[in-house]
Structure 1
Amino acid sequence: MKKIMLVCSAGMSTSLLVTKMMKAATEKGIEIDIFACSESEAKQKYNDVDIILLGPQVRFLLSKIQKSVEGKNIPVAVIDSIDYGTMNGPVVLEKALKL
């Protein structure tokens, strides 16, 4: 089962997006674990995830997190601002799985 971690400033703003992504996964019959956390919590979970997505508000962390997971084959990407703003869980899930 894949694990996707969404990182934002405090781990709160991504909670609704996680819910919508999980709903989309359930509808497609995909077994997946998706959770949100803050930047400070994320550091402790790098080894436990398959994909890391950053909220647009923390896009500045992209290169820092990519360096932290270098050599671990963990893709890191920033969630598209429009998809994030509209809380488009199905699209964010699809993009994440393509990583």
Structure 2
Amino acid sequence: MKIVLCCAGGFSTTMLMDSMKKTVHESTKLKDEDFKFVAVPVDILQSEAEDCDVLVVGPQIAHRMDYIHPIIDPYKIPHVIVDKDTYGKMDGATVLKMALIARKKADMSK
């Protein structure tokens, strides 16, 4: 599963991505090889959209969903917008759970 994390510049999202990777690595149910994480600035999201399974949007760019939807909607990519508190805590476990739920809901609606 490819999870793309998208924010304004990429630095804080890279920290969140590392927290999500750690969650997968320490899990007894999830496997590292089943996940690919990519952190990108919103301006280059298009380059990662084609094979993206779920998009994680940082709270600092939630106002840019009008720019993001035309990129992800043709691929039917589910997305989650991380709230500022979860993002501020760099709570990778919660964000990973949100992403997995979004993907599962998208799969069930097919």
Q: CA RMSD in A?
A: 1.3
In structure 1, the partner of 2:98 is: 95
Q: Identify which of 45, 53, 63 aligns with 2:56.
A: 53
Structure 2 length-normalised TM? 0.81
In 1, are the aligned partners of 2:4 and 2:39 still within 8 Å (CA)? Answer: yes
Computing the radius of gyration from Cα coordinates, the structure with the larger value is 2
CA distance in 2 between counterparts of 1:79 and 1:51 reads 13
Measured after TM superposition, the shift of residue 24 of structure 1 is 0.4
CA distance in 1 between counterparts of 2:97 and 2:80 reads 13
Return the structure number with greater helix share: 2
Deviates more, 1:40-49 or 1:63-72: 63-72
Letter in 1 for 2:19: K
In structure 1, the partner of 2:105 is: none
Measured after TM superposition, the shift of residue 63 of structure 1 is 3.3
SS at match of 2:73: coil
CA distance in 1 between counterparts of 2:80 and 2:70 reads 13
In structure 2, the partner of 1:83 is: 86
Q: Indicate whether 1:22 and 2:21 are aligned.
A: yes
Consecutive unaligned residues of structure 1, counting only runs of 5 or more, are none
Consecutive unaligned residues of structure 2, counting only runs of 5 or more, are 103-110
Change (3 A) 1:92 1:48: same
Letter in 2 for 1:64: Y
SS at match of 1:16: helix
Q: How many residues align?
A: 98
Q: Indicate whether 1:38 and 2:41 are aligned.
A: yes
Runs of 4+ in structure 1 displaced over 3 angstroms? none
- Aligned-residue sequence identity (percent) comes to 30
CA distance in 2 between counterparts of 1:35 and 1:8 reads 11
